Every structure is written in structure tokens, then in C-alpha cells.
Amino acid sequence: MSELKSMALLAKAVRDKVYAALPSDVRLLVSDNPLNKAYLSGYVSIAHDLAPTYRSAVLARCDVAELVTSAADAAPAFEALGRGELIHRYGEFYFDRDDSVPSIMTQMPHASFDAAFVEALAAQPGEGRVGVDRSHDDLLWRLCAEVYGESRLLDVSLLLESCRAVKLPGEVVRLRRAAECVEAGFAKILGTTHAGMTERDLAAMMTESMVLGGGVPRFVSVTSGPRSALADAYPTGRAIAQGETIRIDAGCTVDGYWSDIGRTLVFGKPDPRQQEIYAALLRGLEAMLHHLREGVKARDLFEIGVDTVRANGIPTYQRQHCGHGIGLRSYDTPLINGRDDTTLKAGMCLCLETPYYRLGEGGMMVEDTVLVTETGFEPITTLSRGFLTI
């Protein structure tokens, strides 16, 4: 099956799930949140990476999704949806075409996003209410109110967030593929790194593995020695010295779905202090995994992780969180901290982590991605959690 066909089938499964959670009189969903647009349509646009303020939207019925895009974004959107009449274009951009492409793709587009969206909205069949995603801003709410009146509108922002938190099997497949890309990078680093290499050399190996595996690199933080305490920092030309720790935190996307994996490596043999610190962090992560299952609260999992690290060698350990949901966003619902009262559900995918940063000395972390089940979890990350040596 082609990647585009697979994404189309996933988007249909997503719409079936979302509509099953909606009141029965809702016949249309609209969103201009880039993540929810991808969720409901299956189209992940590079335009949002190039221009974060780029405006587009999805109009999703249960059976089909239509898109409002810029004229430039219309061609890859057509490739994803396969039908020119489902793409409503605005702005100025020029394509020529051959006879295999429908003429609608080169007709004069609308002058503005608002005009394209309103025309697409007015052409939707049937009666009923319209679910409007207000998580991005209120433009679509205002435009829909002008066409239908506010009494026919329903705010679906929280419902979409709740649906996205519990993953379908097709979403888990993509999260696993994204994790595999990063794990391939770790394998290459472990098998190739030698004296004289720099942080950038290791980052290049990680990035290459992501791309070769079908992923889009999103972040590659490789820090060594004292720099490993800098949390999220770009790699530099610093050469890695014998006995130093190397902290790598990296992620990519596959079909829009993220990976986020962190590990600590040592160049040579770890000294007793390094071993003690890492052992405490690992016990914290393993304690969270031991207690993880459907029904556990996010805040309780956080307290287990922090308390375990403190009891095993780092009594001053503090964290603002020990993990987060992951999906179409790297930091998704829920957040594993002391304030999040979310009750975990089977099907949620989480990144659990216990980083430690001591400025002037160094930092360490171990971070895994898992799928919550009724009785525990299934690993998405398969890389060893041990203190990795080069």
C-alpha cells in the first residue's frame, strides 16, 4: 500500500472516531489548527514549517475531508487527497499542468483565505450543526457564524484534544517508525564514534539515519562534557574527550507523528560518580514504568519518579515534569507533572524521562516512549536503557 493511501485510510479512521464522540446532529468539522488539519485530513503540509503564520483549514465530514490552502500548497494537497474539487485555493502562485491534472488546479484562485473558506463552507451539503475548532484562534468561528449563525456552532476544541490523546493503531505504527529512525541513529553513533569526533559529527550521523529511515529531522541535541548540562542546546564543533558524558536528545516525525528519545553515553569507562547519578535516574524511570497502567494519574506518576531518584542518590533532585504525551505534537496531552490530574487511558502514548542537569559539571538523561495499556505498557522505544559506552 502506498504511503498516501495509508494516510488516507488513517484519516478516515480518525474521522470515524471523532464523529462517534460528537452529538449526532453535527455534520461538519472545521479547523485551522495545523495539527488538527493533518489529523482529520491526513495531509501534513511543509508550508507550516516554512511559514508558521501560514493559514489553511480543513472542512471534514465523516466520509471526506476538504482543504483550504494557499495556491502554492494546493499541489501537494492534491497529491494527498487525489481530487481537485476537494482543494479550495487562495493567493498567488503559478503551476502549468498536463492533461492528467484537473483544470481546477490552475484556475484563478480566491484572493484571500476568508473568501476561499466561506465559499467552501457554503457549498457543504446537508443540514445540522458545525463543530468549530477554536484552539488556533477565533477566525473560523466568526466566519462560520456569518454563514450559519452562532446557534448552529459547537466548540470542539477540547474534544479533538481528547481524541488525539488516545491513539489509533495506525498512529502507533507511525510513532514506532519515528522512534526506529532515532534508534538507528543511536546504533550508528555507538558503532562509529571515535576519538577526535565532535558533537556535530554525532548529530550528522543521527540526522542521516532519520532521513534514510523516512523521517523528517525535528531536533537533534548532542552535548558533551560540561555542555551536557545545558538541557536543549544545539551541537557544536566541540571535540569529545575520553571519560566525558554525551547526552543525546533527538526526535523526528513520520507522517507528522513525533519521536523523542534521550540517552546518555560515555566516551570510555564511566567513573563511580557518573555511574551513581545515572543509576538514580534509571531507577526513577523504571519506577514510573512499573506503576504505569490505565487509571493512574499523571501527577502520581510524576511523584513516583521524583521520589525514587531522590531516594537513590540525588536527594536534591527537582523536575518541572517527568514526561509528556506524544503524537502529532512533541509535547502533547498529558504532561507528567505534579499538577496534571489527568487519568491515564489505554492507548495514550507517553514519553517518560528523568533528566538531571548540573551546571558546570554535566547532565544525564534516559527517556523512553511507551504505549499505555490496561495492565501496564508496551514499549515503543527498544534501545537499551543502560549507561551506553563508546
Q: Give dist(CA 249, CA 213) in Å, integer.
A: 18
Chain centre distance of CA 285: 21
pLDDT of amino acid 88: 96
The stretch 193-197 carries a mean pLDDT of 93
**Alpha carbons within 13 A on the beta-carbon side of 375:** 0
Give the pLDDT confidence of 2-29 residue by residue, as tens digits.
Answer: 887 899 999 999 999 999 999 999 999 9
Give the pLDDT confidence of 130-155 residue by residue, as tens digits.
Answer: 999 999 999 999 999 999 999 999 99
CATH architecture of 169-389: Alpha-Beta Complex (3.90)
Give the pLDDT confidence of 213-253 residue by residue, as tens digits.
Answer: 999 999 999 999 999 999 999 999 999 999 999 999 999 99
pLDDT of amino acid 108: 80
C-alpha distances out from residue 55 to 12, 66, 69, 122, 133, Å:
23, 15, 7, 19, 14
Quick one: CA torsion of 108, 77, 81, 44, rounded to 10 degrees? Answer: -160
Cβ(87)–Cβ(69) under 8 Å?
yes
pLDDT of amino acid 280: 98
* Per-domain residue ranges of the chain: 3-164, 169-389
Q: Is residue 275 predicted with pLDDT exceeding 80? A: yes
Q: Give dist(CA 217, CA 227) in Å, integer.
A: 22
pLDDT of amino acid 46: 97
Q: How high is the mean pLDDT of the chain? A: 96
The CATH number given to 3-164 is 3.40.350.10
Residue 142: which residues within 8 A CB-CB, separation 6 or more? none
